[in-house]
Amino acid sequence: MSCDLLPTERPGPHYQGDIYNIINWEDAIHSEWDLMIAHPPCTFLCSSGLHWNKRRPERAEETEKALRFVRMLMETPIPKIAIENPIGCISTRIRKQDQIIQPHQFGHDASKSTCLWLKGLPLLVPTKHIEPRIVNGKKRWGNQTDSGQNKLPPSVDRWAQRSKTYEGIAEAMAVQWG
């Protein structure tokens, strides 16, 4: 079952709403949940956005709220938990990640360092490596410009495009942990 504040993009069981409405934390240890793979919003957690906290101090409280949410997810008494997020302040403010994965390790011509914090789960094993192209002696994947920047231009839905989980990674999670 998936849970998100947004509608699902795939067929299957989906709860559109707040995770607090489907997991009773006081009684979660007795619940039917045995595995949670969480993708908390990265807007106020990832390194690429944290620099804005100095320019816009009101964002710092949003980062604190996001960190409280991640702590709550990590402390949920579900036996197997994976929390996925880009490199950012979770590793420095809560605990170091267990693993950093890349889409190019799972069959995608893309680079995007993604951290995993695991409880009761083994490290995710790469399934298919994609070689990069070489530009001026540096590795570049299909989602990068020759200078190494992300190719997605600014847009109203750039955040949604950037936050999608690559299918090869999702499939590896389902096969290896499901």
**Which pLDDT band, with edges at 50, 70 and 90, does 31 fall under?**
low
E-strand ranges in the chain read 2-4, 14-16, 35-38, 80-86, 99-101, 114-119, 133-135, 138-140
Q: Which of 96, 86, 107, 104 is nearest to 39 (CA)?
A: 86
Indicate the range of 55-59, 91-95, 103-107, 134-138 predicted with least confidence: 55-59
Q: Which residue has the higher pLDDT, 27 or 74?
A: 74
29 has pLDDT over 70: no
The CA–CA distances, whole Å, from 149 to 24, 90, 141, 144 equal 42, 23, 10, 5
25 has pLDDT over 60: no
